[in-house]
Amino acid sequence: MYVYDLGRAVAARDRLFEALPEGFEVYYALKANPHPDVARALHEGPGHGCRAEISSSGELSAALTAGFAGAECLYTGPGKTAAELNKAMECGVRMFSVESLSDATHVGLAASRHGTVADCLLRINAPATAASTGIRMMGKASQFGIDSETLPETMRQLTTVPGTRIVGAHFYTMSNAADEAALIGEFESAIALASRLESKLGLPLEFLDIGGGFAAPYAAPGVRAEYPRLRSELERMLDRYLPRWRTGSLRLAVESGRHLVAESGCLLVRVVNIKAGRGRTFVILDAGINALGGLSGIGRLLPVAARLDGGEQSLVATLSGPLCTPGDTLGRDVNLPELQVGDIITIPNTGAYGVTASLLAFLGRETPYEVVLRGAEVVSVSRLDVQRSYRVMKPEVL
């Protein structure tokens, strides 16, 4: 069972707004946790509210259910299909991040079919910088972004695609950067490059999304990173490279997922078996990678060790799930208290990349419950429905 504390998510949102210069927009990346109650809490309430960053029709539906308007969504991703773009246009989405000339063309065709013009940000794949922390998202060959060195040849084509209006640039340099200096350095590189592209190549620059990278622990004890110098440093670099931001003529944005919601969630799992053999102890749980997959399919593995609360840590064991595969392991050499069958273990900081980042349909087990709290109030109890039978369709639907 996942438990989400909306107060923690809202506190993280408000703290991030405080760390940014006045006027910055924050886009919540629904990939981190698309639960409508969680997204709604980040969107609503007094003071600052988030917009939505989405990259599928499913995330668009979740955003709309949570109360975001289509006009508050930024649609990203390198493989937008005609059907997805049509749905987005129907729902009022008008802001897209485009990753290539062909991607921009697809957006323009969809917009033209709906008698409108789509505002597009060029996602730029900038050269690598010296940052050594976090997960690198730029500076190498990738399906993401337009290589910056090609822009002198392609800018004219990109800015004249029918059905589109280029309004700015989108960068996403790194993910999960706990080192504030590294993150600041990445942001400065992006802002400086945006300024050069505007002055030398004529990039229209009404909107600048400098991405994210704000860190938080995952499935292990800890607290989200703080960035006490970020506000003053962003003001300094914007004053240097894009001074008109002070007039309000340039929209500025960041995006964040895990930083906003990781601390808000925990996963409660039950011990169903304890097995010892050949010098190792295995604590077998009622949930594994089917409930806490950790995006392991793209190399984001769970920690191989984590301390969990619950008394004196006198047991070292492997935490295994219930699936019939040796890959169903949540942690190795984990320090634990002495446990018995039926005990409950709490895995902290699982409000991001939990349920929907997991192998939900593998081996057909029940999906975990998701319980949403606001203080002591239970806001909702839900369970994501995964179809267990195939719905037969007529061939012509293809």
- Token couple for 277: 């053999």
Phi-psi bin for 176: left (phi > 0), alpha (psi -120 to 50), beta? Answer: left
What are the residues whose beta carbons fall under 8 Å from the beta carbon of 247, sequence distance 6 or more? Answer: none
Least confident of 58-72, 206-220, 236-250, 378-392: 378-392
Q: Among residues 324, 318, 354, 321, which one has the least CA distance to residue 336?
A: 318
Least confident of 91-100, 136-145, 294-303, 370-379: 294-303
pLDDT at res. 305: 41
Q: Domain 2-260: give its CATH superfamily.
A: Alanine racemase (3.20.20.10)
Least confident of 243-252, 260-269, 302-311: 302-311
Is residue 296 very low, low, confident or very high in pLDDT (cuts 50, 70, 90)?
very low
Q: Per residue in 180-231, pLDDT tens?
A: 999 999 999 999 999 999 999 999 999 999 999 999 998 888 999 999 999 9
pLDDT at 295 exceeding the cut of 80? no
Question: Would you list the domain boundaries of the chain?
Answer: 2-260, 263-383
pLDDT at res. 169: 97
pLDDT at 306 exceeding the cut of 60? no
pLDDT at res. 140: 56
pLDDT at res. 3: 98
List strand residue ranges (DSSP E) for the chain, in order. 2-5, 25-29, 51-54, 73-75, 95-98, 118-125, 135-136, 146-147, 164-170, 174-175, 207-209, 251-256, 265-277, 280-285, 315-320, 329-336, 344-347, 369-374, 377-383
Q: Per residue in 60-76, pLDDT tens?
A: 999 999 999 999 999 99
Q: Per residue in 153-181, pLDDT tens?
A: 999 999 999 999 999 999 988 788 889 99
Q: Among residues 223, 220, 218, 226, which one has the least CA distance to residue 353?
A: 218
pLDDT at res. 297: 44
pLDDT at 310 exceeding the cut of 60? no
What value does the mean pLDDT take over residues 237-254? 97
pLDDT at res. 1: 96
What value does the mean pLDDT take over residues 145-151? 87
pLDDT at res. 164: 98
Asked if 229 contacts 304 with a C-beta cutoff of 8 angstroms, the reply is no
What value does the mean pLDDT take over residues 252-268? 96
Is residue 385 very low, low, confident or very high in pLDDT (cuts 50, 70, 90)?
confident
pLDDT at 304 exceeding the cut of 50? no
Is residue 301 very low, low, confident or very high in pLDDT (cuts 50, 70, 90)?
very low
What value does the mean pLDDT take over residues 335-352? 91
Least confident of 13-17, 105-109, 186-190, 325-329: 325-329
Q: Domain 263-383: give its CATH superfamily.
A: Lyase, Ornithine Decarboxylase; Chain A, domain 1 (2.40.37.10)
Average pLDDT, the chain: 90
Is residue 388 very low, low, confident or very high in pLDDT (cuts 50, 70, 90)?
low
